Amino acid sequence: MKKESSENHIHKVRHSLSHILATAVLETVPTAKLGIGPVIEHGFYYDFDLPSPLSEKDLHSIEKRMKQLIQEHLVFQKKSTTPAAIKKILSSQPYKHELIAELTREKKPLSLYETYRKKGTKKELVFVDLCAGPHVKNTKEIDPQAFKLTHLAGAYWKGDEKNTMLTRIYGVAFATKKELDTHLALLEEAKKRDHKKLGVELDLFTFSPLVGAGLPLWTPRGTLIRNLLDDFVWELRHEKGYEKIDIPHITKKDLYETSGHWDKFKDELFKVQTREDHLFALKPMNCPHHTQIYARKLHSYRDLPQRYANTTMVYRDEQSGELAGLSRVRCITQDDAHVFCRYDQIKEEMGNIWDIIDTFYTSFGFDLSVRLSLGDPQHPEKYLGDQALWKKSEKALRELVTSRIGKNYYEAIGEAAFYGPKIDFIAKDSLQREWQVATIQLDMNMPQRFSLGYINEKGKEERVAMIHAAIMGSIERFLAVLIEHLAGAFPLWLSPVQIALISISEKHTSYTQSIRKTLEKEGFRVVTLDSGETLGKRIRLAEMQKIPYSVIIGDAEKKNKTLNLRSYKKGTLGELSLEKTVEKLHKEIKKR
């Protein structure tokens, strides 16, 4: 008999724990209405419609009861039956009735999972749920010390803010207590690195209830970081022959009807009705606008490729419950670029974009892996264009990926954009969490919808290919990832304040000011911490602001015309001349 993989087993454990969680909640609140309880990364959750709210304190007693239930060696058993029978069994569960109706319409099989305890030869039913499984056979397979309920959250039924807000209870689970402890330690570290917390502490951004949720406001320091990141991307793009363009923030409905975005995203658009009764939309993406810049004139094969770069905001009507700091916002700054090229130029152009991505993410210490995101041939209705175009596009991407990294990638069916397949780059951060970041997308559909072409060597018109290239993608989301990856300690070139000057007493102030003038002339961003606070407090303030370098200035430094340099990451570096300090810091910035 083939041994079950550890991955499959932990999936069953997590799924079974979601049912144990529901069992414990129903014991406490018998009138609770059940939502869904799936497995997620590292754990599980279950949604409940409760007559009164739970608090974080309630999680402890629920978790304690779950452990008791596990130690009763409960049995899980699948039972296939009819929709009518399931409705009768779950007569008090309206959300389950809604799911049964959906599954019946979709002609999907229905089954229940029963949880019961054995009493001699008899079975006592403990819990029953609409579920396809899989589950463990017996809770003896679950280590009661290897899971933990972590937190509560609100969640709209089916993710729709028009529906009831449910209470979601999250838990994490692993095969052993040691794995759980390791994960909980990472969660604690993640809390310290939370970009929502650090962003405020470092004075990078803020949110205002008068402006609205999901609409971050950037301070001078945060704006500086955004601009430096964008400049870095532009520097890399400029080397590859890109040109800057600019576009309006609104468009007529017609543009998105032609591109196909209106039918796909009309519910996520902010719409604007004019006094003349024309319907416009705030742009949720830039590519249709860019097509019209290409379409302004007839291009020759000698003109190609055309490479357009544009950093601009787009707007999406995200649901309030899904907004999260900078990770999910309603205004998204995209470092967007599009290449219009001949089919025989696709591989080289996508390779150039890949080079930019490698350089950019390597500079921050991210490890990148690659996912080839393909269409789902079982559901062609979800995508634009015919299957022949899709096969051609997917073949081109697969050839590029294998030529660059061999077989060190994986394919994801159904993860493509609706207009074409893409290469997604997955960054692993310092806490070993994975984030989808940059993307290269090959689009043969939009050029067809907009009739974009060029005149070839024989004087005949040919269809052009379109490549979508986002390096950061969303600057907001990338900054959320970067802040947590670096714990807010930005590299010297990116730090909004690079050097803090700290004079020991007032008699050192004039020398400190002369040092500041010299450093600022050299282009460094400098702050002087010469308030009435003690020396120790000022040094701690520089550390709390995670300023890369502090310079302590006292009698010895004034007499010797030196700087006592202290690194945030490495501690005291000792005395250096001003010239040596400038040389050292310029060299560090140049290396990025």
Catalytically annotated residue among 422, 477, 485, 566: 422
**Angle CA 439–444–449, to nearest 5:** 120
334 is a catalytic site residue: yes
Catalytically annotated residue among 47, 335, 336, 429: 336
Q: Which two tokens stand for residue 295?
A: 């379409």
Catalytically annotated residue among 96, 316, 330, 485: 316
**Which amino acid does the sequence have at 344?**
D
64-69: long-range pairs with CB below 8 Å, 24+? 65/24, 65/27, 65/28, 66/17, 66/20, 66/21, 66/23, 66/24, 66/144, 66/147, 66/149, 67/144, 67/145, 69/20, 69/23, 69/24, 69/126, 69/139
Catalytically annotated residue among 15, 47, 299, 334: 334
9 is a catalytic site residue: no
Q: Which DSSP helix (H) or strand (E) runs through 272? A: strand 271-273
316 is a catalytic site residue: yes
Q: Which of 420, 565, 553, 430 is nearest to 487 (CA)?
A: 430
The distance from CA 495 to its chain's CA centroid, rounded to whole angstroms, is 22
Pairing of strands 205-206, 562-567: unpaired
Catalytically annotated residue among 468, 477, 508, 538: 468
Which residue bears the tokens 């022959």? 241
Q: Which two tokens stand for residue 458?
A: 């024989």
Which are the contacts of 347, defined by CB distance < 8 A and separation ≥ 6? 396, 399, 400, 403
Catalytically annotated residue among 135, 283, 299, 338: 338
**Angle CA 500–504–510, to nearest 5:** 75
336 is a catalytic site residue: yes
Catalytically annotated residue among 287, 290, 299, 306: 287
Q: Which of 91, 65, 75 is nearest to 127 (CA)?
A: 75
Q: Which two tokens stand for residue 71?
A: 């130690």
**Nearest-angstrom CA–CA distance, 514 and 367:** 42
Beta strands in 174-265 (DSSP E): 205-206, 217-218, 243-244, 250-252
**Angle CA 323–326–332, to nearest 5:** 90
287 is a catalytic site residue: yes
Q: Dihedrals φ, ψ of 327, to 5°? A: -70, -30
Pairing of strands 453-455, 461-463: antiparallel
Number of H helices, E strands in the chain: 18, 29
Q: Residue 457, SS3? A: coil
Please list the active-site residues.
287, 316, 334, 336, 338, 422, 468
